[in-house]
Amino acid sequence: MVAALEIWANLAIRWLHLIAGISWIGSSFYFMWLDSHLKKPDDAPADVPEGGVAGELWSVHSGGFYRQMKFMVAPAGMPQDLHWFKWEAYTTWISGFLLLGLIFYVGADLNLIDRSRADLAGWQAIALGLGSLVAGWAVYDGLCRSPVGQNLRLFSVVWFAVLVAAGWGLTRVFSDLGAFMHVGAIIGTVMAANVLMIIIPNQRKVVAQVLAGETPDPALGKQAKQRSVHNNYMTLPVLFIMISNHYPMIFAAPLNWLWLAGLGIAGWTIRHFFNLRNAGRTEPQVLVFGALAFLTVAVLNETARPKPAAVAGVPAYAEVRAIVDRHCVTCHAAHPTHRGVPVAPNGAMFDTAEGLRKHAQRIYERAVATTSMPQGNETGMTAEERGKLGAWIRSGART
């Protein structure tokens, strides 16, 4: 009963996380686009002092015409209804954290701990995971407040190096997927904390200053804008990490931390290309740089990928059956026996000869070409066993 509830909770939280994430990223993309299309207005409204408007944009959508206007700092007075873009960010982070906890903390022994790397107790792994989120925000916020934060290019290089180092370090102690998800959680935590700790508080201060008849402090808006731009550039890398569990050839690659770096560069360049394009500049070399980073990382990983262990001849089905029964069918069976796995993941069942043949290629990809299965190598599958399994599958998976 508890396992079934975990499955339904996983589905509900994952769905909420996806919906909230779309809303948050959509508003980020829209406002970056809006800023790049603002033009000096021909005629400002009568209630706006001359020089108080930074730009305006006329647009048409769904049969209606819209006029958006941005003030240099703030209007002379505040409207009764003022929309705040914050709940999208908060909901995305809360649902993401709940999902992280449900999959990787409640299921730490299966999904987070890899005892071949670090023989951690459950509480130690959880503490390390939570500590990485706190440390990530502390380092990022410190960089933003330092002289490094005043130079966008320098900040980008240093923060990128910090994330690469985090990826390398976490892949040394956690399972491959657990490490990937924690890098994504670090980025997501930074993005949400930017909204909670900087952007919204600064906006509240500006509103309070206007209502009090004071001159708003432009530094508050400048700081909030800095963090908003950072969030915009971190969206695509964190989006890939969210779906990376579908790609064992990446998260279980020999240089998987380098994959994180390459995909981070690719995501950043795609976002930068479109931000420049929205501002009227087309610079395809930005995309070329991202593509080269992606290809370089792919080649390096394929070069470093170990070959399956050589075996003499093709093992008999009975020997392969014993390997699969020992390492796979506790989860991949009609009636799984592994705690927390009420149904076979993705419906893949290997407890019959027919099921084993049907899913042979998937087994090869996850247990031979990569070592993503068994998760965290919980059952201690050896290189020799992987080699025998690979030889049997390559020979046609005959029973």
Q: Which pLDDT belongs to residue 310?
A: 79
User: Which regions of the chain does DSSP assign to beta strands (E)?
Assistant: 53-61, 64-71
Q: Which pLDDT belongs to residue 45?
A: 59
CA dihedral 338, 343, 344, 345 (to 10 degrees): -100
Q: Which pLDDT belongs to residue 337?
A: 84
Q: Which pLDDT belongs to residue 377?
A: 80
* The pLDDT of residue 380 is above 90: no
Q: Which pLDDT belongs to residue 323?
A: 92
Q: Tens digits of per-residue pLDDT, 64-111?
A: 988 888 887 777 777 778 888 889 999 999 999 999 999 999 989 888
Task: For 150-171, give the DSSP string.
Answer: GSHHHHHHHHHHHHHHHHHHHH
Q: Which pLDDT belongs to residue 306?
A: 80
Q: Tens digits of per-residue pLDDT, 219-228?
A: 998 899 999 9
User: Cβ contacts of residue 177 below 8 Å, gap of 6+?
Assistant: 111, 244, 245, 251, 252, 372, 375
Average pLDDT estimate for 164-168? 97
User: Cβ contacts of residue 121 below 8 Å, gap of 6+?
Assistant: none
Please give the mean pLDDT across all residues of the chain.
Answer: 89
pTM of the shown model = 0.86
Q: Tens digits of per-residue pLDDT, 275-294?
A: 999 888 999 999 999 999 99
Residue 232's nearest CA partner among 135, 177, 291, 156 is 156
Q: Which pLDDT belongs to residue 3?
A: 63
Q: Which pLDDT belongs to residue 194?
A: 96
Confidence of residue 231 (pLDDT cuts 50, 70, 90): very high
Task: Give me the residues paired with residue 69 across strands.
Answer: 56
Burial annotation 185-197 (CB, 10 A radius, 16+ → b, else e): bbbbbbbbbbbee
* The pLDDT of residue 252 is above 90: no
Confidence of residue 366 (pLDDT cuts 50, 70, 90): confident
Could you give the maximum distance between any two Cα atoms of the chain, in Å? 87
Q: Tens digits of per-residue pLDDT, 193-209?
A: 999 999 999 999 988 88
Q: Tens digits of per-residue pLDDT, 286-330?
A: 999 999 999 999 999 988 888 877 788 888 889 999 999 999 988
Q: Which token pair is 375?
A: 């998760």
Q: Tens digits of per-residue pLDDT, 36-70?
A: 888 887 765 555 555 577 788 888 988 898 888 88
Give domain limits for the chain.
98-304, 317-394
CA gap 381, 361 in Å, rounded? 18
Q: Answer whether 95's CB lies under 8 Å from 17's CB.
A: yes
Q: Which pLDDT belongs to residue 43?
A: 66
CA gap 375, 291 in Å, rounded? 31
